Structure 1
Amino acid sequence: MDVAFLRAANDHKITDTIPLEAAVTMIGSTRKLLRASGTTAWREQSEIGGNYVRRGDAVLKSARMDHTIEGSFVIPILVPLTQPIDKPIPSPRDENLELFASAPEPFERRVTRTFAQSILAVREIIVQPERFPSASDLQDVVLRGVSREFCSAVAAILSEPAVAEFETRFDWANAVPAPSTMPESVLIESEAVERIELVAEKLKRSRIDQRSIFSGDIVELRHMTDEPFGDIWVSTIRRGRRSEIKIRLPFDHYQQAVAWHHAQRAVIVEGKVTLGPSRRLVVDSAVSCRPIDEILLPGS
Structure 2
Amino acid sequence: MVDITPGFGPEEIRSYLKVTGWAPVSGGDVAELWSLPGPADEVVLVPMKPGAPDFSKRARILMHDLARVEFEDVQTVHDAIATVYNDVTDLRASDPSMNDGTIPLESGYELFLSAKRIRVASAAATIRRQGHFRNLPPRAREQAREVRLGQTRRGSYVVPIISQARSPQDVYAPGQDHIDVQVEETLFDRRVTATMSRALGVLEDMAGAHRGPTPSEINDSIGEGVSYELCQALAKVVNTESVSALDVAFRWSRVAAPPPGTPAHVEFNRDAIEIVDQISEQLRTKVYTREHLIYGVVTDLSRQPDDDTGRVGVQTLIKRRSRTVWMDLPDGDYHTAVHCHDAGIPVRVQGMLTSPPGGLARMSVTVFGPDPSLGAN
What's the TM-score once normalised by structure 2's chain length? Answer: 0.57
Give SS of 1:41's match.
Answer: helix
Give SS of 1:3's match.
Answer: strand
Q: Using the TM superposition, name which of 157-166 and 199-208 deviates more.
A: 157-166
What does 1:7-156 align with in structure 2 at a 5 Å threshold?
Answer: 7-10=92-95, 12-20=96-104, 21-49=106-134, 51-80=135-164, 83=167, 89=173, 91=175, 105-106=184-185, 107-124=188-205, 126-156=206-236
Q: Using the TM superposition, name which of 68-77 and 170-179 deviates more.
A: 170-179
> What amino acid does structure 2 have at the position aligned with 1:4?
T
- TM-superposed CA distance for 1:85, in Å, is 10
Structure 1 residue aligned with 2:50: none
RMSD, matched Cα: 4.4
Aligned residue pair count: 278
What does 1:210-221 align with in structure 2 at a 5 Å threshold?
Answer: 210=290, 213-215=291-293, 219-220=297-298
- TM-superposed CA distance for 1:220, in Å, is 4.3
- TM-superposed CA distance for 1:18, in Å, is 3.8
Distance 2:203 2:340 in 1: 23
The Cα offsets for residues 245-293 of structure 1, whole Å up to 9 and x where unpaired, read as 566666667788899999x99866458989xxxx87667x965557998
Uncovered stretches (5+) of structure 2, i.e. residues with no partner = 1-85, 373-377
- TM-superposed CA distance for 1:187, in Å, is 1.6
- TM-superposed CA distance for 1:240, in Å, is 8.5
Give SS of 2:128's match.
Answer: coil
- TM-superposed CA distance for 1:116, in Å, is 1.8
What does 1:148-227 align with in structure 2 at a 5 Å threshold?
Answer: 148-174=228-254, 176-210=256-290, 213-215=291-293, 219-220=297-298
Q: Using the TM superposition, name which of 181-190 and 227-236 deviates more.
A: 227-236
> Are the counterparts in 2 of residues 269 and 290 from structure 1 also a CA contact under 8 Å?
no
The Cα offsets for residues 97-132 of structure 1, whole Å up to 9 and x where unpaired, read as xx9x997754222222222222112112x3123332
- TM-superposed CA distance for 1:155, in Å, is 0.8
Distance 1:81 1:247 in 2: 28
Distance 2:241 2:107 in 1: 8
Label 1:102 to 1:6 Cα distance change in 2 as closer, same or farther (>3 A): same
Uncovered stretches (5+) of structure 1, i.e. residues with no partner = 92-98, 294-300
Percent identity of equivalent pairs:
24
What's the TM-score once normalised by structure 1's chain length? Answer: 0.69
Tell me which of the two structures has the higher relative contact order, counting C-alpha pairs closer than 8 angstroms and 6 or more residues apart.
Answer: 1
> Are the counterparts in 1 of residues 130 and 222 from structure 2 also a CA contact under 8 Å?
yes
Distance 1:118 1:17 in 2: 29
